[in-house]
Structure 1
Amino acid sequence: MSIWKLVLLELKAIATDKAIAITLFGGVLFYSVLYPLPYLHEVPTRQAIVVVDLDRSGLSRELIRHANASPKLEVVGTVGSIPEAANWIALPREGIQAHGLLVIPEHFSRDVKLGKGATLAIGGDASYFLVYSAIAEGLVDVGMDFATELKWQALTSRGTNPVAAELQLNPLDINSVPAFNLSLGYTPYVVPGLFLLILQQTMLVGIGILGAGQWRNKGYWDQVSPLMLLGGRMLAFMLIYSVFTAYYVGWCYYWYGANLMASATEVGLLLLPFLLATTVVGIAFSALFTKREQPTQVLLLLSMPILFASGFVWPLSLIPEPLVWLSQIFPVTPAIMGMLEMNQMGVSWSQILPSWLHMWGLLVIFTPLAWWGIKYHRDRLVDSKSKQLS
């Protein structure tokens, strides 16, 4: 049997197996929409808040107008007590769900005019970190801007030149510009790494199901040498996942606005060892199972630890070191860091060389393990046939 005939048989086995086809083709397409879709708006804006106005003065109403003018906030109602505002946050009212509150204390206007100062209380639903962050930041900005405006009015009323008053209140202008992830959004930050994790996990599950379903049965796979089967299976999955990778890194990156600062050649050079190493890891992984459902179960449990241990959604210093070390056996760990550094931080090829060599090293280590796994199951099948004949 030629290698290309073997590859065609592998592709046929993948396409005709419903579990594998759904995992590979359905999973890659489904997750390309599922993960980014909830975050298409990138940054949460116009978050609904309730104001507890205990002062009911002209100055408090002016503060409420300032809050409603903030691009991060929308005042959906004014109530007379904190418990009433808390109930609005807990349960929607008139179809509107509030996520934060602003409390304007009694005698707010009087204390401000007397120069005593006043304390504003803010709160938010911390169940959603991005929403809470937007509310807290928006309310703090409103409070500080309103206080600055009041000070400016006090200075100008005493005869201070308006320009001098502005310089006195704001002696420094801060121009804050993010170095990476310029939109400060979720999609360009997390989605590129998630796409690589999806590619790895679906490939490992697909190879695992294919291998686990074949090891105890006779078929085309036991008619070739272990080395030839290893090469044919690698070629088959490389052909499929070259298309999937081009879809993710090409079309999906463009559609979702993910950064792609590196050239196509550099991206291809980085992802080549990733795909090769993932295929041999998958083949070696498949040798551990003889039941088709087991690879999916195991990898579902490993997905989240691998994601966090990759270091781009949670600081590695806060993750137990044994878990970080264990994650290094998966090609996606160096691949994610290499892709993010190259495409979001604009580092040179020499700086991601350790990640690139890491993946080639995994390929070298797992190739003999994959070959041994195939040979082990072939020998067991031969032995069982011999016993049946005898």
Structure 2
Amino acid sequence: MTILQAFIFTLRTILTTRPIASTLILAVVLYGFFYPAAYHSEVASQLPIVVVDQDQSPLSRNIIAKISLLRAVNIVQQTSNFAEAEQMIKRQQADAIFLIPSHLESNVLRGQNSGLALYLSGAYLIRTREIGSGLASSIKASIAEQLKPLLQTTHIEPSLNLYEYPLYNPLGGYGSYIFPAVAALIVQQTLLLGVSFLIVSLKQKQFRFNLTNLTGITLACSLIGILSCLYYFGFVYWYQDYPRDANLPALLLATPVFVMAVVSISLWLGSIFDRPERPAQVLTFTSVPFFFLTGASWPLEAMPQWMSLSAWIIPSTAGVRQFIQLNQMHASLSDIGMNLLILIMITVVFATLAYRRLIRN
């Protein structure tokens, strides 16, 4: 069997074996639509809050009126009883309490500390972040509007405003942040499951591996992985309108390097497993820890040293970083050089291990 024959044989086997085809092809396509759907609105909106107004002044009413216009929040109740609002948080009927204390207006006019307080439910970090940022701007606008006549008569200069411009994610959307990090992980997990399943199935059929046909198998599996990456980085990013400023030549070089690293590990895992169902039993649960170890949800630098160092054994750690840099930041090859080097080392090590187990044994 030549390399080309092994290549065609592998593609035919993948397409005609339902579990492999559903993992390597169908799952990749469906995830491109299913996963981003949950984050379609990009930013959290209409989050329930309780307003505790103990001042009952024109300023407090003005603040509440402006808050009610915010897309991020929904005032579910106004009360003067803080204990009642606290019970609503405990019953998960609201995500935050906004307290307007008594004598707010008089304190502000005298230049004293207003004592405004915002109590956020830390159990929902992303949701409460939206509430905090939305309320802060609304409160500042309300107070500035109320004090405008006073500022004009006393010639007090208003404080300078600070404007924030999110780089590489202009909307500040959660979907635009999370999916570019998850896309490479989806490709990795589908390859790990599908390719290792393929190798175990071939072993059970007494398939005789040699360097030639193993090369053809590797190239066929890598082609599917490369097409999966390009499907996400090209079509899905465009369809979902995610921020993109790709360095295309560097991306076309970095993608095969990442895919080859994943396929090499998959071949090695396939040489170890004894049954076709074993990859699913062992690898399915690894998606969450692998994502955590990419550093996308929590910086690697803040993890224990043994954990941050061992994370680089997993291709997705270097892969996620390099693809975010290439797709969102228009990074050059020199910017991702260390990531590429790590992926090449992973490829060499695990391809050698897979060769020793599949051919020499």
Q: TM-score, normalised by structure 1?
A: 0.83
Secondary structure of 1:36 counterpart: helix
* Alignment counterpart, residue 197 of structure 1, candidates 178, 185, 195: 185
Note if 1:33 corresponds to 2:33.
yes
- Taking the TM superposition and a 5 Å limit, the aligned residue runs for 1:341-360 are 341-360=325-344
Aligned-partner Cα distance in 1 for 2:248–2:108:
60
Structure 2, unmatched stretches of 5+, are: none
Mapped partners of 2:111, 2:167: distance in 1: 41
Equivalent AA in structure 2 for residue 45 of structure 1: S
Instruction: Establish whether residue 133 from structure 1 lines up as the match of residue 121 from structure 2.
Output: no
> Which residue of structure 2 aligns with residue 215 of structure 1?
203
1:119 to 104, 110, 115: 115
Residue 162 of structure 2 aligns to a residue whose secondary structure is: coil
Cα distance, 1:246 vs structure 2: 2.1
For the structure 1 residues 238 and 155, does the alpha-carbon distance in structure 2 shift closer, same or farther, using more than 3 Å as the test?
closer
State the SS of the aligned residue for 2:334: helix
Please identify, of 143-152 and 283-292, the stretch whose mean Cα deviation from structure 2 is larger: 143-152
In structure 2, the partner of 1:368 is 352
1:383 — aligned with what? none
Corresponding residue number in structure 1 for 2:236:
252
Residues 1:102 and 2:60 aligned together: no
Which residue matches 1:144?
Answer: 140
Residue 338 of structure 1 deviates from its aligned partner by 1.4
1:347/1:265 CA distance change after superposition, 3 Å: closer
Segments of 5+ residues of structure 1 without an aligned counterpart are: 380-390
How far, CA to CA, are the matches of 1:374 and 1:239 in structure 2?
Answer: 21
Q: Which amino acid aligns with 2:144?
A: T
Cα displacement string for residues 265-317 of structure 1 (whole angstroms, at most 9, x for unaligned residues): 22111101112222122101211110222222322233222222222321111
- 1: CA distance between counterparts of 2:145 and 2:113? 14
Q: Distance in 2 between matches of 1:59 and 1:8?
A: 74
Q: 1:54-65, aligned counterparts within 5 Å? A: 54-65=54-65
User: How high is the TM-score relative to the length of structure 2?
Assistant: 0.89
Partner of 1:315: 299
Retained in 1: the 8 A contact 2:2–2:213?
A: no
Matched with 1:384 is none
Instruction: Note closer, same or farther for the CA distance 1:59–1:261 as it changes in structure 2 (3 Å cut).
Output: closer
Taking a change above 3 Å as real, the CA distance of residues 2 and 229 of structure 1, as seen in their structure-2 partners, is: closer
Q: Which amino acid aligns with 1:85?
A: A
Provide the rounded CA distance (Å) in 2 between the counterparts of 1:112 and 1:263: 52
Larger Rg: 1
Report if aligned partners of 1:230, 1:370 keep a CA contact under 8 Å in 2: no
Change (3 A) 1:64 1:260: closer
Alignment correspondent of 1:83: 83
Q: Work out the CA distance in 1 between the residues paired with 2:341 and 2:109.
A: 67
Aligned residues: 361
Q: Which amino acid aligns with 1:56?
A: Q
- CA displacement at 1:109 relative to structure 2: 4.6
Three-state SS of the structure 1 residue aligned to 2:297 is coil
Maintained 8 Å contact 2:46/2:71 = yes
1:269 aligns with 2:253: yes
2:28 is paired with a residue whose SS is helix
Distance 2:24 2:123 in 1: 34
Q: Which residue of 2 aligns with 1:324?
A: 308
> Does residue 279 of structure 2 align to residue 291 of structure 1?
no
8 A contact 2:28–2:186 mirrored in 1 = yes
Greater shift after overlay, 48-57 or 309-318? 48-57
Q: Secondary structure at the match of 2:98?
A: strand
Q: Is the 2:268–2:350 Cα contact (8 Å) retained in structure 1?
A: yes
Q: Report the CA distance shift for 1:75/1:338 in structure 2 as closer, same or farther (over 3 A).
A: same
For 2:330 and 2:356, the matched residues in 1 are separated by 40
SS in 1 for 2:60: helix
Task: Give the deviation of 1:57 after TM superposition.
Answer: 3.6
Flag the 1:317–1:281 CA change in 2: closer, same or farther, 3 A. Answer: same
What amino acid is the match of 1:36?
P
- Seen in structure 2, the aligned counterparts of structure 1 residues 31 and 60 have a Cα distance that, compared at 3 Å, is same
Are the equivalent residues in 1 in contact too, given 2:196–2:266 (CA < 8 A)?
Answer: yes
Q: 1:342-371: CA deviations, max 9, x gaps?
A: 232333222212222322222222222111
The 1:273–1:109 alpha-carbon spacing in structure 2 relative to 1, beyond 3 Å, is: closer
CA deviation after TM superposition for structure 1 residue 91, in Å: 4.8
Counterparts of residues 4-43 of structure 1 (less than 5 Å): 4-43=4-43
Secondary structure of the 2:99 match is strand
Alpha-carbon distance change, 82 to 14 in structure 1, aligned in 2, over 3 angstroms: same
| Percent of residue pairs identical | 29
Larger RCO: 1 or 2 (CA < 8 Å, sep 6+): 2
SS of the residue 1:287 aligns to: helix
Q: Distance in 2 between matches of 1:56 and 1:328?
A: 57
- Measure, in 2, the Cα distance between the counterparts of 1:169 and 1:322: 51
- Structure 1: how far apart are the matches of 2:270 and 2:127? 42
